[in-house]
Amino acid sequence: MGTINGKEFIDRINKLENEIWFDGEKIKGKISEHHAFKGILKAKASLYDLQNDPALREEMTFFLPDKKEPIGLSYLRPKTKEDLKRRRKMMEHWARITHGMMGRSPDYMNTAVMSFASSSSLLKGRKNCFPENIQSLYERAMKHDLSFTHTFVTPQVNRSQV
């Protein structure tokens, strides 16, 4: 499959049909059309469009030797100084589009997944370690141009009900 574009990203988000609540009400309909999420999803979609821009494709994607589909450069395992420079340039393009204000652009966690997969061999043979799982996730993420996020705060809940 390779890289996706902005429309495919939005369609994928909408197809998830996650249960999302905002301001005490369950969101009905497409999440991409809700006023609280519309702007950020549009901004993130623009990043996927950027990596498919023919003028920037070489600076935003790479090809695996045995594949014909382009892959987002945030998944490239750097092996040379030139690889690192290519990755930096891709990240600069995305940062410029968002004016550096998107703290969780797709390259952020894609880089973490790539790094974990790159060092998964260190876990082979160790108890309760599953290097094949991170490798599998990395390959699936590249194939489908997935992006990830995380949070460092415990979700806030109404503790009076506990």
User: Over its length of 162 residues, how does the chain's per-residue pLDDT go in tens digits?
Assistant: 789 999 999 999 999 988 999 999 999 999 999 999 999 999 999 999 999 999 999 999 999 888 889 999 999 999 999 999 999 999 999 999 988 888 788 888 999 999 999 999 998 999 988 999 999 999 999 999 998 887 777 767 776 765
pLDDT of amino acid 112: 92
pLDDT of amino acid 162: 59
- CB within 8 Å of 149: residues ≥ 6 apart: 104, 108, 109
Provide the token pair at 41.
């999803």
Burial of 138 (0-12, 13-18, 19+ CB in 10 A): buried
Give CA–CA dist 87/99, Å, rounded: 18
pLDDT of amino acid 9: 95
pLDDT of amino acid 71: 94
CATH architecture, domain defined by 6-150: Orthogonal Bundle (1.10)
Which one, of 137, 133, 112, 115, lies nearest residue 124 by Cα?
133
Which one, of 52, 145, 151, lies nearest residue 107 by Cα?
145
